[in-house]
Structure formats: structure tokens, C-alpha cells
Structure 1
Amino acid sequence: MLQLVGMLDSPYVRRTAVSLQMLGLRFEHRPLSVFRHYDEFRTINPVVRVPTLVSEDDVVLSDSTLILDYAESLAHPRSLMPTGLLARQQALHVLGLALAAGDKSVALFYERNLRPPEKQHEPWAGRIAEQIRAAYAALDQHFQQHPPKADGHTLPQPALSTAVFWHFTQRALPGLVPPADCPALAALSDLAEALPAFRAAPHGEDAVRAQG
């Protein structure tokens, strides 16, 4: 069975856990922290990066986008991505914005919470905050024009990832991007968090709940 390693307070781990469920792939979740379980984690992946996926052939994969590319191959023909060239191009555009929002949110969270106050560089933090707001503004505009729809209990990957990163930003950086400023993203988050795969992998909890 696939093994997913990492804590659900990481949006990349949560994105992967939700996607694996929506693709119908069973996996074991090992909720190891890159801080508290560093030595144990290093025995699985020497670079101690989340998420880490151990394949059934014991090949170690890291980086959520690469893991999900592999997962899509395993789940084929089931997919969370469109197949048409233009539709796929648009999906990748939205995913790029979502990943930018997520990457910058994590960077700002670390800057504000792990770096000593006397070493924080406010102009740099301000620039990151501006990038986060710009990414979410563009995403909100997209989802206002193209409201996401759940297909049964699944979402397309661009909407899924956007919802995970938006929820992380709201939890980790409260007040940075008020929900009232991005009503389409707030609605997407409400839709996503009600789905079984999201409920089974809630932000901040130790482990993915039992899969149906």
C-alpha cells in the first residue's frame, strides 16, 4: 500500500491526502513532523521533505505536484485534471496561482513564526504578503467567472488545491486576506470542506481518518 508521510497542518500534505482519496487510491498515512520526528523522518526520506510518498515498490517521492502526477498515472483513467489541451492549459494556469499562494503563505508563516523578531525583514515580509493577495485576487476572479462544481464527492484539481491553500492561509495568517475580499474563494472553501475527502483529512489533525 502507498504510504503518505507528513502532518496535515502542511497544505501540501493535505492537498495530497485529499487528492489520493478523490482518485480512489488507498494509502497509509504516517503523520510525522519534520521538526518533532526529524530523525525518524530522515530514515524514510533523507531530505526530510513533506509530503513524502513511499510507493508500493518502495520508491520515495517528494513534492506534492510530482506525487500527484504519479497518482494520476496509478488512477488512470480516473483523473482530477481535464484532458483537452485548452482546458488543461487553463487548469495549469489556475494551479500555478494556487501553488504561488500556498508557497508564499508558507514562507510568510515561517518568517513570522520561526525567524527571531530581530532578524525579520519587514519589507521582505510585506512583499510576500502582496504576492499572496495578488494570487488570491486572481483566483477569486477566476472562480467568480467559473464557479466550481463538485462531481459527486470530487473536485477538479485546480479547485481542490485552491481550497486547501486558501484554508491554510486563513488558519495560519488570519486577517491577511479577509474572506469578504474573496467571496468566491470563501464559497469554494465551504463547498470543499463539506466533502468527505476533506473531512477525512482536516487541517491540523494528526492523521487521515479511516477511509471508507
Structure 2
Amino acid sequence: MRSGVQQTPNRMAILDPMKLIGSLTSPYVRKVRIVFNEKKVDVDLELENVWAADTKIASTNPLGKVPCLIADDGEAIYDSRVIAEYADGLSPVSKLIPADNRERAAVKTWEALADGIMDAGILARLERTLRPAEQQSQTWYDRQMGKIDTALRQMSEQLGENAWCHGNQITLADIAVGCAIGYLLFRFPEIKWQTQYLNLDRLHQKLLQRPSFIETEPPAA
């Protein structure tokens, strides 16, 4: 006896490729691009200028910031710290964030310190480039540059003579630090951190040998 209910074959949902919305000069975008590269996970890069009058970034990230990741299910993920952690869980290759809770916190603290340098640097640069000269605040600018100086000193002290920021292999801590000091070279070449903090320079030179850093080098200003 034949049933009146017809069986339909199971169909797997068709997922779109992941898409990373960002710019070539953002240090936060560079950070997550390096993470995807180190994890051997493919992601399409869609360039977006958030300062352009016709930017559409708010349609995916209401904060109007990059990077913004459109996952393969179409959902938006932001900001760079969230994307980096998400990317690290996509592949067992090159685990960048430790599973141990305390070690994880240590790596994420390094990332917060590095991101703080980038935050301060961007705020200082915007003060000089977006505000009319008569409206610029030297006090505000000096405050941001002071944060950078203090953070660099802390980084150097914590790194000491170690080969890596945490543990015996590259982690998200090193990637974040490399992007932060690389951003200073890109936007603030007058800050001579290389001669003041030789251990940070050694780490940076080592990172620059990696394909992930080479491929994400920002274009000449």
C-alpha cells in the first residue's frame, strides 16, 4: 500500500562565500585579514571607504565601522576582536587564541593593548586631518600620543627577551601588536619606536617575513 505522503530529498542549504568589508589602510581590517590568512580560511575582501559620502557600511554595521564580516549564512559580525575570535574557531590550523581561560585572557589583553594604540593613533590622526586647524585641540592630540607612548613601553616590558608575546608560537597577541606598530610606521613615522624598543622591532621584523603580513602591507601613503 502506497502512502499518500511524498518524501522529498534533503537539500543542504547553499551558503555564500564569506565576505570581509574593509579598507586596505585600516589596521583593524589588516588584523583580521592576517588571522584569516594564518588560519588558511578563504574570505573575499570588499573594499569600502567609510568616510565617503556614498558609503553603505551602515547597512551591514550600524556603527559605521570596518571591518565587518558577512558570514556564509549572511549574518554580519563585527568588530575586529569578535571577527578574529570567530575566524580562529573556523579551522584547527594555527590556533591563535589559547583554550585555557587564563592564557586566553592574557592573549586578549595583549590584543586590547595593541588595539588601544590603534584607537589612539586614529583619534590623533583624525584630529589633524578632519578638523579645521583653528578647531584642533593640542591637548587632545597630546593625550592620544601619550597613550601610545605608555602602551609601547608596556608592550616592550612585557615582551622582554621572549620570542613571542605569549607562549612559544605566534598568537593573536603577536598579530595585534604587529598591526599596531605597523600602523605607527604607516601613519606616524616620526615616532621612532624601533630604536627605543629594540625587542619590539625584532618581533616586527620577524612578523614581516610571514606571507600574512607581506600580503596585507598597506599601500604607500
Aligned equivalents of 1:179, 1:168: Cα separation in 2? 13
| Closer/same/farther in 2, CA of residues 46 and 82 from structure 1, 3 Å limit | closer
Aligned AA for 1:91? V
Aligned AA for 1:33? N
Q: Is the 8 A contact 1:129 1:176 kept in 2?
A: no
Choose 110-119 or 5-14, whichever is displaced more.
110-119
Please give the secondary structure, in 1, of the residue aligned with 2:160. Answer: helix
**1:70 alignment partner, one of 86, 90, 97:** 86
Could you say which residue in structure 2 is the equivalent of 1:163?
178
Aligned equivalents of 1:45, 1:104: Cα separation in 2? 22
Report the alpha carbon displacement of residue 46 of structure 1 after superposing the two structures with TM.
Answer: 4.5
Q: Is the 8 A contact 2:49 2:55 kept in 1?
A: no
Please give the secondary structure, in 2, of the residue aligned with 1:39. Answer: coil
Could you say which residue in structure 2 is the equivalent of 1:210?
none
Aligned AA for 1:172? R
Number of equivalenced pairs: 202
**2:36 alignment partner, one of 20, 25, 48:** 20
Unaligned runs of 5+ in 2: 1-16
Report the alpha carbon displacement of residue 61 of structure 1 after superposing the two structures with TM.
Answer: 1.4
Please give the secondary structure, in 2, of the residue aligned with 1:67. Answer: helix
**1:146 alignment partner, one of 159, 162, 185:** 162
**2:73 alignment partner, one of 50, 54, 57:** 57
Alignment of 1:6-155 (within 5 A): 6-36=22-52, 38-76=54-92, 78-148=94-164, 155=170
Report the alpha carbon displacement of residue 181 of structure 1 after superposing the two structures with TM.
Answer: 0.9
Aligned AA for 2:123? A
Q: Please list the CA deviations of residues 23-79 of structure 1 after superposition, one character each: whole Å capped at 9, or x if unmatched.
A: 121110112211237434444445431001100011011210011122122224752
Could you say which residue in structure 2 is the equivalent of 1:183?
198
Report the alpha carbon displacement of residue 132 of structure 1 after superposing the two structures with TM.
Answer: 0.5
Choose 39-48 or 122-131, whichever is displaced more.
39-48
Please give the TM-score of this superposition, normalised by the length of structure 1: 0.86
Q: Please list the CA deviations of residues 112-170 of structure 1 after superposition, one character each: whole Å capped at 9, or x if unmatched.
A: 22221111111111111111110011111222242228x9xx83110111001101012
Identity of aligned residues (%): 21
More helix by share: 1
Aligned equivalents of 1:184, 1:167: Cα separation in 2? 14
Aligned equivalents of 1:51, 1:140: Cα separation in 2? 28
Aligned AA for 1:22? E
Q: Is the 8 A contact 2:38 2:94 kept in 1?
A: no
Larger radius of gyration: 2
